[in-house]
Every structure is written in structure tokens, then in C-alpha cells.
């Protein structure tokens, strides 16, 4: 299984070629399936190559799908360039008592120390299929315990520190040699010492079981980051935030910036931004629905603010809504049809953009924008390589922007437009590096977003992405 894990990870991760100006890092021996970069900002392979976390929220994957359906879903996500599938073992919607597609519940008598082998064989199958396709599973051991002041009730509270550790060790041992990223939490706060003790024990159990092979993070509820309660926990390898579904143009870039300012330094990413085909703030009649434009804005806002990756979500897919199944909060599109909503392909273009450059060097740089940053939905974000060799500037509504080009290296600047809707590149041309230069995108208005790509012309970076390695 270890060979399968390493091959699956290698299929996802590519070294930036010398032609693109990327340097090859010396191998750093590691027993982990993924690791944290030396600057503590990004995720990397054990030998130090960049890993782009492109997740999909498939919370009910283990609970609701047959093996054939899971195959269909995973093949689609691998083909679209996803790298991580986020799924829950003890699922939210009566996951303890409503059986999976084969009539199995996960635990005997709701006891986390008594897992049902037949249920976990189904989980094994899906994790193995993901590995074959080069996908990591962002595995949530459980959804959060019940909450009565929100829209759902997640089920009985079954965990104590004692049984959480036993359950964590069971999972850690079982998936030790699989491509896993552990995600504790499950849309819940860790706002009391009693709750933190449970998650701390579960993390200790996982580490005892898998020997510390896999990274661990925590999925919070909307508008929050794991850093609020857990940043100082040694078991938390990187932060995860949820910018959520409450409003259009929620400034996820501010949430990323807050995490990046904390000590000790840890990577961070938005693990649940606006879902495609989700009603805005749960008010479809009044506010409408999030679409691919909202998806792209949330993706680029958080990435260029310094996120180490991004998660996509579709409201119909996380619950695997289908004909004959009661929709959760106005789900309206059968999940197999929803697989092809445009946002799901467009997030893959963001991965391709990043992998066209040595993105481990990339960090947020608001000072690149000399004028035209804009506010609200127009807010532009900029990121620059530490050595000044390239920069990305995201313009969510195609507004003109003035760039302080002296922030970039070299005597000549090469500029290109990247279209986040199609993944196509349009060269603008070269010019001498000057104090400032204005750029006007090819189109403007909501949905006419663009990424301005600026390169030190001498570096020879490609104008166009490399194909994904799936």
C-alpha cells in the first residue's frame, strides 16, 4: 500500500521545470505523505515539491453513495484537476443510525470503540479508489456533535476524550499507508476546554495509529478559522477557515491575512467558501443563488491573500442530492448533473495558473497595487514571488489597475492576461520596468474577472499552463 500511496502522491505533484524558472529543491527525507514547506506557508511532498490543495466538499460520500457512484464521482473530480476530496466517516445527517448504501451503520451501539468492519470496508474501497486516481482524501473522522441553535441536529453526543483517542487510533492504523489528510472538527467550534480535550485526544490517537504520517487540520463553522481556538495546539499542522455561504463578496482575504499574521507560522486555506448552486444566506427568493462568478472570486481572493490552496464546494454534491432524496436547504440539481456546473472546471484553471510558476515563492503583496484596488466586490488582490520574478493580480470586475512595476525584478516586464473562466492566456507584450503602469482588462463588470500575470521577461516563464498530471 505504501507504494500505491507514493505513486498516487507523485501523480498529483509536479516539480516546476527549469524552463519555467523553478529551482529543484534538495530532497528532504520525511516519513509523511505530505509535509509543510520550510517557510511554514505551503504544503509540499516529502522531497519538498509543491502541493496545490484543490479540495472538493463531498461530505456524504462514504454515507450515501454506492461503490459505482463513488467511482463516477471520483473519476470526474480527478479529471477536473482536484487533488483532495473532503469526506466524513460519521456523517452529519443521521450518519450513526441511517445506514450507508449497503445497509451498514458505522458503530455498534453508537460506541466509537466498536467500529463496524463492514461499514469501514466500504470506506476502504473509496479511499483506495481515490488513491488509484491520484487523489488524497481529506478525512473527517466525524461531523461535529449536535448543535440545536442552527438548522440541523447532528446526532447524539458520543465522544469523550477516552473513546475519541481509541477511535482516532483505530482510524490512524487503518489508513496509515493511504493518502490521507486528517480534518477534525466538522463545522463546529472548539470553544470550550471540554471540546478541545476531545479533539486533542482524537488527534493523539490518530498520531499513535499512523505514526504521524499525515497532516492534521480542523474544519470550523462559517465565518471562523481553526486558529480562533486551536492555533497553539501542536497537533494542528495547518489552519482551515470557512468563509461560508452567508453573503456575496465576503472578504475571505481578510480571514487569510489574520491567520498568516499569527505565531507560530502555519499554512492556512479556505476549506469551505461559497458553494456553487447554494442560496445566498439561505434566502433564495430574496437574494438568489451563488454561481461560478462567486466561486471564482472566493477562490482567487483567498489564494492571492496567501492561502496554501482552496476548496470548491457545490451544494448539491456535498449532500449527493438526487431524485427521490429530500433536499437539504433548497438543493435543486441532481448531483451527477451538478458535477458539470462551470465552477467545478474553473477552479482547475486556478491550479493550472499556480503550477505554471514556482508558486512556493508566492506571497501576498498589496503594495504592488499603486492605484485601482477598489472596494467591496471590486477589491483587487496581488501576490508576488519573493525574488520579484513574477506576480499575479486578480481583478474581480475587470477594473483598470495601476501596478508599481519596480516591485518586480529584471529590466523588462512581460505581461499577460489569464482568463479564469476558460484558462486561456493572452499576451499583452513587453515593456521596460517603470515606476508604475496602468493595465486595462479586455472586459469589465461582474463576471468579467481577470488575472494579470507579470513576469521578469528574462526568466522565460511559459505563457500558458502545464497540463495537470492526472
The string of DSSP codes covering 24-76 is PPPP---SSSSEE-TTSSSEE-TTS-EE-EEEEE-TTHHHH--HHHHHHHHHH
The dihedral through the CA atoms of 341, 347, 353, 358 has a sign that is negative
Question: What CATH number labels 365-459?
Answer: 2.60.40
Beta strand segments in 45-196, E: 50-51, 53-57, 84-90, 136-142, 180-185
Nearest C-alpha neighbor of 363 from the set 39, 101, 49, 79: 39
pLDDT digits (tens, 9 = 90+) for 109-141: 999 999 999 999 999 999 999 999 999 999 999
Whole-model pTM: value is 0.92
Instruction: Give how far the C-alpha of residue 148 lies from the chain's centroid of Cα atoms, to the nearest Å.
Output: 28
397/440 Cα distance (integer angstroms):
11
Q: Which three cell numbers stand for residue 308?
A: 496554501
Residues across the chain: 470
The larger pLDDT score, comparing residue 25 to residue 39, is at: 39
- The CATH H-level (homologous superfamily) assignment of domain 2-355 is Glycosidases (3.20.20.80)
The CA radius of gyration of the chain, in Å to the nearest whole number, is 22
37-41, 129-133, 142-146: which range is least confident on average?
142-146
Domain boundaries, the chain: 2-355, 365-459
3 has a pLDDT exceeding 70 = no
Burial 400-421 (b: 16+ CB within 10 A, else e): ebebbbebbbbeebbbbbbbbb
Nearest 5°: phi and psi at 337?
-70, -40
pLDDT band with cut points at 50, 70 and 90 for residue 27: very low
Distance in angstroms (rounded) separating the CA atoms of residues 93 and 196:
23
393-411 per-position pLDDT tens digit? 999 999 999 999 999 999 9
Amino acid at each position: 500500500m505504501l507504494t500505491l500511496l507514493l505513486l498516487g502522491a507523485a501523480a498529483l505533484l509536479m516539480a516546476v521545470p527549469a524552463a519555467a524558472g523553478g529551482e529543484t529543491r534538495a530532497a528532504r527525507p520525511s516519513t509523511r505523505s505530505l509535509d509543510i514547506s520550510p517557510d511554514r506557508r505551503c504544503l509540499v511532498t516529502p522531497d519538498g515539491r509543491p502541493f496545490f490543495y484543490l479540495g472538493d466538499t463531498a461530505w456524504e460520500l462514504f454515507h450515501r453513495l454506492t461503490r459505482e457512484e463513488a467511482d463516477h464521482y471520483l473519476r470526474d473530480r480527478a479529471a477536473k484537476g482536484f487533488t483532495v476530496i473532503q469526506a466524513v466517516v460519521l456523517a452529519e445527517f443521521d450518519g450513526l443510525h441511517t445506514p450507508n448504501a449497503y445497509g451498514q451503520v458505522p458503530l455498534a451501539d453508537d460506541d466509537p470503540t466498536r467500529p463496524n468492519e463492514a461499514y469501514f470496508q466500504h470506506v476502504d474501497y473509496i479511499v483506495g479508489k481515490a488513491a488509484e486516481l491520484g487523489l488524497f482524501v481529506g478525512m473527517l473522522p466525524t461531523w461535529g456533535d449536535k448543535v440545536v441553535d442552527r438548522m440541523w441536529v447532528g446526532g447524539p453526543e458520543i465522544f469523550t476524550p477516552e473513546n475519541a483517542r481509541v477511535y482516532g487510533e483505530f482510524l490512524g492504523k487503518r489508513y496509515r499507508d493511504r493518502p490521507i489528510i486528517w480534518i477534525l472538527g466538522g463545522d463546529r467550534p472548539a470553544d470550550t476546554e471540554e471540546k478541545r480535550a476531545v479533539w486533542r485526544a482524537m488527534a493523539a490517537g490518530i498520531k499513535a495509529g499512523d505514526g504521524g504520517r499525515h497532516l492534521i487540520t480542523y474544519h470550523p463553522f462559517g465565518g471562523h478559522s481553526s486558529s480562533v481556538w486551536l492555533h497553539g495546539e501542536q497537533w494542528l499542522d495547518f489552519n482551515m477557515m470557512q468563509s461560508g455561504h452567508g453573503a456575496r463578496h465576503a472578504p475571505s482575504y481578510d480571514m487569510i491575512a489574520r491567520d498568516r499574521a499569527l505565531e507560530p507560522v502555519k499554512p492556512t486555506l479556505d476549506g469551505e467558501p461559497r458553494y456553487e448552486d447554494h442560496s445566498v444566506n439561505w434566502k433564495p427568493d430574496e437574494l438568489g443563488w451563488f454561481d461560478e462568478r462567486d466561486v471564482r472570486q472566493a477562490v482567487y481572493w483567498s489564494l492571492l491573500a496567501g492561502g496554501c490552496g482552496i476548496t470548491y464546494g457545490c451544494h448539491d454534491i456535498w449532500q449527493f442530492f438526487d431524485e427521490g432524496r429530500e433536499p437539504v436547504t433548497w438543493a435543486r440539481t441532481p448531483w451527477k448533473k451538478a458535477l458539470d456546473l462551470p465552477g467545478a472546471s474553473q477552479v482547475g484553471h486556478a491550479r493550472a495558473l499556480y503550477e505554471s510558476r514556482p508558486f512556493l515563492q508566492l506571497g501576498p503583496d498589496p503594495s504592488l497595487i499603486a492605484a485601482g484596488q477598489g472596494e467591496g466586490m471590486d477589491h483587487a488582490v496581488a501576490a508576488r514571488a519573493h525574488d520579484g520574478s513574477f506576480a499575479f493580480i486578480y481583478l474581480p470586475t475587470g477594473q483598470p489597475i495601476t501596478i508599481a512595476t519596480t516591485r518586480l525584478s529584471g529590466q523588462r516586464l512581460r505581461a499577460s492576461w489569464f482568463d479564469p473562466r476558460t484558462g486561456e492566456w493572452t499576451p499583452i507584450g513587453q515593456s521596460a520596468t517603470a515606476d508604475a503602469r496602468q493595465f486595462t482588462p479586455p472586459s469589465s463588470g461582474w463576471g468579467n474577472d481577470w488575472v494579470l500575470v507579470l513576469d521578469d521577461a528574462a526568466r522565460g516563464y511559459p505563457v500558458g499552463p502545464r497540463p495537470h498530471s492526472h
